[in-house]
Amino acid sequence: MATKIFADGPSDTLGRSFNYAIVDKSGPEPHRVIGSLSINQVAPYPEIGYAVHPDSWGKGMATEALQLMLKMWWALPRRTLCKNDIPPNGIERVFALCEKKNGASCRVLEKCGFKVIGDYCYGEDELFVFALEKPQCPN
């Protein structure tokens, strides 16, 4: 958990974290933790990560947890940005990385509205880079 505390980024995020446990309330063991979900970094951009125990794969729990976390993330108050902090085209986005061979996790991100914007290799891992734009407020 110590690695999930922000050590760099905007001063108002230092020493903070944005982590959640995913709990299965419907299974045979009530309130069993079956995964985690977090904003892994905020600088230079917010990046989401999640993990779910294999016993709980394919039950929609990662999708549900990610949808709820995104709803909370976008609802957080925003600070006034410096000129250098304004996102390209003024559009705020959040990012996620996913191994290309992990089709189920790619589908979770796609169901939550993420789009593939690139790919790269990290050691032996071939990864997709996903992005999700902040939803526009209805007029």
pLDDT in tens, 18-45: 788 898 887 777 788 999 898 877 777 8
pLDDT at 15: 57
Q: Can you tell me the distance from the alpha carbon of 113 to that of 139, in angstroms, rounded to the nearest whole number?
A: 21
Name the one residue in this structure whose structure tokens are 């290799």.
121
pLDDT at 137: 66
Dmax over CA atoms of the chain, in Å, equals: 52
Q: Can you tell me the distance from the alpha carbon of 3 to that of 54, in angstroms, rounded to the nearest whole number?
A: 23
CB 95 within 8 A of CB 130: yes
pLDDT at 45: 82
In the chain, % helix, strand, coil (3-state, to 5) comes to 25, 35, 40
pLDDT in tens, 88-126: 677 889 999 999 999 999 999 999 999 999 999 999 999
30: which DSSP letter? T
pLDDT at 79: 64
**What domains sit in the chain, N to C, each tagged with a CATH number?**
2-133 (3.40.630.30)
| Residues with Cβ within 8 Å of residue 85, at least 6 apart in sequence | 10
CB atoms within 10 A of CB 22: 22
Tally the residues of the chain.
Answer: 139
